[in-house]
Amino acid sequence: MPLLEVRDVTKRFGGLVAVNSVSFSIDEGEIVGLIGPNGAGKTTLFNVISGFYKPEAGRVLFMGRDITGKPPYTIAKLGIGRTFQIVKPLLNLTVLENVVTAALLKSSSLSEAKERASEVLEFTGLHEKRMLKASALNLVERKRLELSRALAIDPKLLLLDEVAAGLNPREVDSLLELLRQINSAGKTILMVEHVMRAVMTISQRVIVLHHGSKLAEGTPSEVASDRRVIEAYLGEVVF
């Protein structure tokens, strides 16, 4: 049984079809990249999986259980953590408080949550900034905070929406190292990414979306040599 199964999901906004009958599945322990030109429907698909949008058609199954249209907090409790492409830090709270809030989901007490949050921050490298307000963080740190919060709810599946965007090459490397460690700790990762180098080096499998439909799926090298994929990306460069 796959960990996550997306079956013929369609999401429309008025007349616009943002996601058009997309199907794929992810097995436990995988790192899967979800790529595609701008407006391909990647973030919309994330929002459908994590319960922020209700699809017009299709099903989403998590661990064999139908989670289609369930509210986001239920899906989070079931074990899907996510980050937002446009980061959503809790600005007036400290970094630690941000993560403690998330850690409370799987903790029985506040002190346990604080411990858990400290561990996560140690791991993601934000520990020294833990007493700062989230509003004092720069964008790179805010992306780390998103990741820390998603980790702190101890999910089985992590949906990462462009966590590498805006990072310099060295920062990308350290992020990839972090993601590998997260993955080897048993967490499955589905990542939307524009930084090709990042997604191509770390993913075992890549799914390509184009105009809301699945265009291709395979290993990074298979996808990179796929003529349709190249054309789709060329189209983006030309226009």
Partner 1 sequence: MSLTSLLKTPLGFLSAAAVALLAAAPAVFKAADLPFPANTLLLCLMYGILAMAWNLLSGYGGQLSFGHAIFFGVGAYTTMVLMLYYDITPWIGIVAGGAVAALVGAGLGVPLFRLRSHWFALATIAAAEIFRLSFIPWKWIGGSAGLQAPIVPREKALYYLQYAGSYVYCYVAMLFLAAELVVLHRVVNSRVGYYLQAIREDEDAAMAMGINPFKYKMIAMVVSGFFTGVGGGIYAVRFRFVDPFAVFDLITISVYIVVAGILGGMYTFIGPLVGAFVFMPITEYVRVYVVSRFPRYYGLHVFVLGVVLLVIALSVPEGIVGWLEEKGYVRKLKERW
The nearest distance, CB 93 to partner 1, in angstroms, is: 6
CB of 152 to partner 1, least distance (A): 8
Nearer to partner 1, 40 or 75 (CB): 75
To 10 degrees, what angle do helices 95-103 and 110-124 make?
Answer: 120
The region of 35-43, 56-64, 80-88, 212-220 touching partner 1 under the rule CB under 8 A is 80-88
102 binds partner 1 (CB under 8 A): yes
Q: Is there a contact between 127 and 118 (Cβ–Cβ < 8 Å)?
A: yes
Q: Out of 42, 82, 143, 214, which residue is the one contacting partner 1 (CB under 8 A)?
A: 82
CA distance from start to end of the chain: 41
Q: Which two tokens stand for residue 17?
A: 């079809």
Please say which residue, 92 or 168, places its beta carbon nearer to partner 1: 92
Q: Scan residues 174-233 and list those touching partner 1 (CB under 8 A).
A: none
Phi and psi angles of residue 166, each rounded to the nearest 5 degrees, phi first:
80, 0
- Asked if 81 interacts with partner 1 (CB under 8 A), we say yes
Interacting residue with partner 1 among 7, 12, 59, 77 (CB under 8 A): 77
Q: Which residues contact 238 (CB under 8 A, 6 or more apart)?
A: none
Binding residues for partner 1, rule CB under 8 A, total 29
Min separation Cβ 46 and partner 1, Å:
11
3-state secondary structure of 227: helix
Q: Which residue has the tokens 């989901």?
A: 105
Among 44, 50, 148, 203, binds partner 1 (CB under 8 A): 50
Strand-pairing partners, residue 82, are 159
- Candidate segments 14-22, 26-34, 58-66, 82-90, binder of partner 1 by CB under 8 A: 82-90
Residue 6 pairs in a beta bridge with 24, 60
Choose which of 11, 129, 144, 149 interacts with partner 1 (CB under 8 A): 149
- Report if residue 147 touches partner 1, rule: CB under 8 A: no
Burial class (CB in 10 A: 0-12, 13-18, 19+), 196: middle
Angle, helices 139-152/95-103, rounded to nearest 10 degrees:
20
Helices (H), 94-138: 95-103, 110-124
Q: Does 101 bind partner 1 (CB under 8 A)?
A: yes
Q: Which residues bind partner 1 (CB under 8 A)?
A: 50-52, 71-74, 76-77, 81-82, 84, 88-93, 97, 100-102, 104-105, 110, 149-150, 152-153
